[in-house]
Structure 1
Amino acid sequence: MDDERPPRELDVNRPNVARMYDYYLGGKNHLPADRAAAEKVIEISGGRVREAVRENRDFLGRAVRYLANEHGVRRFLDLGAGLPTKGNVHEAALAAAPDARVVYVDNDPVVAAHGRALLVTTPEVSFLEADLRRPGEIISALPEAFTLDRPVGLLMVACLHFVPDEEDPWGLVAAYARALPAGSHIVISHVSSDSLPEVMARGRDAYKDANASFEARTGESIRRLFDGLRVAAPGVVPLNEWRPDPDALPLRAEFLPVLGGVGQVVRTAPPAGLGDRTERI
């Protein structure tokens, strides 16, 4: 997209959360509307958003390596995958386990185009153009090689704060947990409003014209996403505190308003199916 000629089906006048995220990371897959909206968020956050998205990518890589190395996970399902950038899930997974398989899921046509291009050179990767809010459709559309006879690493990283309360993100996580084999893990990161409620409210307004609404949530609400899961140490914590690398640099800001954690699906009976999204496991 260097020449900024948009593909078909792309609304050039509406900010897109995936392309805004790419802009925060210093990528090049964004358009003027995305940059304008992203700059508003950068200003509102006092620059914190740039550090937050970098910490989010680092957390993602650490979580994938943790699942591959310590739990033997070889199947990774990345929901709301976003645009390819340095440190993709498949890069971390394949470096840790060459027999890993990764399925990326996103409903954005630009992300889909990049995802399909990735398939040309990386046979271990598949891409589904689908909405993470429809777990039944995603589970039924998984590639034949992506079997559910073994634990899966399900990634819901920096996506649930784009699912409003009325669409029940808590029930959505529970629905996926019910559909996955026992021993699977769910990785979640989510923006927290606890420390910066006024800033987060202004940030929500900055996303009002984007293709998805933004809703920072309290730490209590974020921890509820892990209900019914066995949460790995150190728990649901600021991303920079989740199993940091020994050489990790200190935060520039005084704190990170993004929480994350990893929860394991534990059950003695077979998966119950998707059923009612609001049912807890």
Structure 2
Amino acid sequence: MVDERHPLREFDVSRPNVARMYDYYLGGKNHFPADRAAAEKVIAISRGHVREAVRENRDFLGRAVRFLAREAGVRGFLDLGAGLPTQGNVHEVALAAAPDAQVVYVDNDPVVATHGRALLATTPQVSFLEADLRRPDEVISALPAAFALDRPVGVLMVSCLHFVSDQEDPWGLVAAYARALPSGSHIVISHLGSDAFPAEMAQGREVYGAANAMLEARPSASIVRLFDGLRVVDPGVVPLNEWRPAPDALPLRGASLPVLGGVGRVP
């Protein structure tokens, strides 16, 4: 049922959408023919490994959230560029680890907005904010009153900064959020790397050029720079499957995982 207080904005189903493509990679149901066609091109370019990469990304997100809740004592989670709700949502992982946690999802996509509002109906500790992560001052000022910044929080920038162009300065965005957070907060980042498969990344960029956001895979050195000014938690900025893997984690199907991630603590 559509919430009449927040009518759904019209959205273009004829143009591939990065959130819906991601949902398709994960085996979800919230996508349209244009999304599926574009996603299949990326699957072909990657010889199917993009699906492994997005699953590893999802698993990394869950491990990072559990680390913040159980070991770092974080109770407030701000998920930027959240994308479409799917299996293992941040609030599900956070609340399982810490029942008193608060979660705010942030995205500027109208489809994501609709699903985000549905979350509000059943989980009072979850809020949805329709905003652009590239405007940190606006995001921070619009946070609900229940999401207090008087204690450490966790900011999740998972698989979103590679949709921020160099001109939009992703390094400056991370720094801006870090400045707005209390000491002891953590920032979680995952980002697509270009080092291992430069030709495939260039082809993938062409596919995403027709979508609603350009893909900007970056060299590992540029990804590590995102953590400047933060105290990087062990084991550092590494391929996602190497960040505190579960004891029963399965080996990769591919030779390597071209997605790096890490967790940085705000001094």
* TM-score of the aligned structures, taking structure 2 as reference length: 0.97
Partner residue in 2 for 1:57: 58
Partner residue in 2 for 1:113: 114
Q: After the TM superposition, list the runs of 4 or more consecutive aligned residues in structure 1 that deviate by more than 3 angstroms.
A: none
Partner residue in 2 for 1:270: none
Whole-Å Cα distance in 2 between the matches of residues 33 and 259 of structure 1?
Answer: 28
Partner residue in 2 for 1:150: 151
Deviation at 1:9, TM superposition (A): 1.3
Structure 2 residues without counterparts, runs of 5 or longer: 1-7
| Residues 230-269 of structure 1 mapped to structure 2, 5 A cutoff | 230-266=231-267
Tell me the SS of whatever aligns to 2:71: helix
Tell me the SS of whatever aligns to 1:71: coil
Whole-Å Cα distance in 1 between the matches of residues 206 and 50 of structure 2?
Answer: 15
Deviations 1:135-188 (A, max 9, x none): 000000000000000001000000000000000000000000000000000000
Partner residue in 1 for 2:165: 164
Aligned partner letter, 1:82: G
Whole-Å Cα distance in 1 between the matches of residues 46 and 165 of structure 2?
Answer: 21
Whole-Å Cα distance in 2 between the matches of residues 60 and 112 of structure 1?
Answer: 21
Aligned partner letter, 2:61: L
Aligned partner letter, 1:190: H
Equivalent pairs: percent with the same residue?
Answer: 80
| Residues 21-100 of structure 1 mapped to structure 2, 5 A cutoff | 21-100=22-101
Aligned partner letter, 1:62: R
Count of residue pairs brought into register by the alignment = 261
Partner residue in 1 for 2:5: none
Structure 1 residues without counterparts, runs of 5 or longer: 1-6, 267-281
Deviation at 1:190, TM superposition (A): 0.2
Whole-Å Cα distance in 2 between the matches of residues 28 and 8 of structure 1?
Answer: 20
Deviations 1:56-106 (A, max 9, x none): 000000000000100100000000000000100001100000000000000
Aligned partner letter, 2:201: M
Deviations 1:205-262 (A, max 9, x none): 0101100000100000000000000000000000000000001111111110000000
Partner residue in 2 for 1:207: 208
* TM-score of the aligned structures, taking structure 1 as reference length: 0.92
Deviation at 1:114, TM superposition (A): 0.2
Deviation at 1:8, TM superposition (A): 4.3
Partner residue in 1 for 2:21: 20
